[in-house]
Amino acid sequence: MLEKTDRKILHELQFDSRRSAATIGEKVGLSASACHRRIRLLEDRGVIEGYGARLNAEKLGYVMTFFVEVTLEGQSETVLGAFERAAAARPEVLECYLTTGTADYVLKVSAQDTDDYERIHRRVISGLPHVIRIQSSLVMKTVKSWRGYPVE
Amino acid sequence: MLEKTDRKILHELQFDSRRSAATIGEKVGLSASACHRRIRLLEDRGVIEGYGARLNAEKLGYVMTFFVEVTLEGQSETVLGAFERAAAARPEVLECYLTTGTADYVLKVSAQDTDDYERIHRRVISGLPHVIRIQSSLVMKTVKSWRGYPVE
DNA sequence: GGTGAAATCGTAGACTG
DNA sequence: CAGTCTACGATTTCACC
């Protein structure tokens, strides 16, 4: 699926996308242009979806994170579809997953403070279509946050 | 805490960090150098922690994602610390959070296939220190994946 | 895939308003 | 704190081996 050299390139770019093709090429044993060609190819194939800045959540004011388990009234395609569209449209909902297990969906939500969370809980999540049960877990400590996939 | 213009800059950089200061400046109503100065400042202040490539998990072979709730035998600092260090060190553990609620920790784990997950479950997670209970939820659908904080 | 060179682009600095 | 202008450097891109 992916070659060893490609994986090394991806590994580098995951953690610092500002490295130049020349720098990465040196690390992986390729010339700058060969490395650059591979990167372009990885972009074209969609392996690399884009490049983004990693922001510090706390410095943005997002000091609280929650995992919210949501149960819906029923499982029909209509119900699930309506919920998913509404959830995805809310900026407060950072992530949303349909999962097996006790609940139907798991959401990741960030809040600025307790008032903000109260607002999100009551106005946003409770207001999503067909929600009948909500159970929140506050993140007390982020032991490991997302840094990238094990690609090497 | 953060000014409107800074937020706009961060918004742009979150989604495409390859935009130049000139391009972003145009969007936010600043000259290239003024915009560049602000970006540097945001980096220096630690609001921007770095820049990375967003990779497509499926094209890397990570077609399965799990949320794993882990309960430990006890809550002493020693127990928690040992678990956290071990969990953070495993590349298969993409994320790890200490949470309120029924379990102690929530882990996010990616696997290449069912065999890979079996391996991770039995060899990795069960082998983390002081684990007495594991409950996994398979992600059946990613409704919304992480795109960035609502910063505007 | 490598080389090398050309053209482009982006950053950084000094200075002014 | 923003704008302009400039210069330097780095990076991409291309044709060819």
Q: Write out pLDDT tens, residues A57-108.
A: 999 999 999 999 999 999 999 999 999 999 999 999 999 999 998 879 999 9
Q: What is the mean pLDDT of chain B?
A: 95
Among A91, B55, B52, which residue's Cα sits nearest to residue A107? A91
Give the burial class of A36: count Cβ atoms within 10 A of its Cβ; 0-12 exposed, 13-18 middle, 19 or more buried. middle
- Is the backbone of residue A46 left (phi > 0), alpha (psi -120 to 50) or beta? left
Note whether B134 and B66 are same-domain residues.
Answer: yes
Angle ∠(B84,B86,B91) on CA atoms, nearest 5: 110
d(CA B66, CA B114): 11
Nearest to B54 among A51, A99, A150 (CB): A51
Please tell me the predicted confidence (pLDDT) of residue B102: 80
A93: chain B residues, CB-CB within 8 Å: 144
Say yes or no: B65 and B130 in one domain: yes
Pick out residues 21-40 of chain A having their CB under 7 A from any atom of nucleic acid strand C: 25, 29-35, 37-38
Q: Is residue B53 part of a domain?
A: no
If asked whether residues B84 and B127 sit together in one domain, one would say yes
The domain in which residue B109 lies consists of: 58-138
Tell me the pLDDT band of B2, cut-offs 50, 70 and 90.
Answer: confident
Could you tell me which residue, A131 or A1, shows the higher pLDDT? A131
Report residue B3's pLDDT band, with 50, 70 and 90 as the boundaries. confident
Q: Is the pLDDT reported for residue A23 higher than 90?
A: yes
Helices (H), B2-131: 4-15, 21-28, 32-44, 77-89, 114-119
Say if B31 falls within a structural domain. Answer: yes
Q: Any CB–CB contact under 8 A between B64 and chain A?
A: no
Half-sphere exposure of B96 (CA within 13 A, CB side): 20
pLDDT digits 0-9 by tens, B8-25: 999 999 999 999 999 999
Query: What is the DSSP track for A10-36?
Result: HHHHHH-TTS-HHHHHHHHT--HHHHH
- The continuous run of DSSP H or E covering A43 comes out as helix A32-44
- Residue A40: which CATH number? 1.10.10.10
Residue type present at position B87:
A
Q: Closest CB to B100: pick one of A51, A101, A137.
A: A137
B82 CA: distance to closest CA in chain A (Å): 12
Q: Are residues B67 and B40 in the same domain?
A: no
C-alpha–C-alpha distance, residues A20 and A39, integer Å: 10
Digit-coded pLDDT (tens) for B32-41: 999 999 999 9
DSSP, collapsed to helix, strand or coil, labels residue A84 as helix
- State the angle between helix axes of B4-15 and B32-44 in degrees (0 to 180), rounded to the nearest 10: 80
Q: Are residues B36 and B77 in the same domain?
A: no
**Does residue B55 have a pLDDT over 70?**
yes
Report how many domains make up chain A: 2
pLDDT band at B31 (very low <50, low <70, confident <90, very high): very high
Eight-state DSSP code of residue A74: -
Tokens linked to A15: 């953690």
pLDDT at B97: 98
Give domain status of residue B119, yes or no: yes
**Spacing of C-alpha A147 from chain mean position:** 11
Residue B22 domain flag: yes
Other C-beta atoms closer than 10 Å to the C-beta of A20 total 11
Give the span between the Cα atoms of B147 and B152, in whole angstroms. Answer: 13
Tell me whether residues A97 and B65 touch, CB distance under 8 A.
yes
| Same domain flag for B74 and B121 | yes
Give the side-chain half-sphere CA count within 13 A for B60. Answer: 25
In whole angstroms, how far apart are CA A7 and each of A11, A53, B92?
A: 6, 21, 16
Residue B143 in any domain: the answer is no
* Confidence at A1, pLDDT banded by 50, 70, 90: low
Distance (Å, rounded) from C-alpha A69 to C-alpha B137? 12
* Residue B125 forms part of a structural domain: yes
Q: How far is the CA of B34 from the C1' of D3 (A)?
A: 8
Q: What is the pLDDT of residue B152?
A: 82
Measuring from the CA of residue B37 to each C1', which nucleotide is nearest?
Answer: C12
Instruction: Say whether the CB atom of B32 is under 7 angstroms from strand C.
Output: yes
Asked if residue B27 belongs to a domain, the reply is: yes
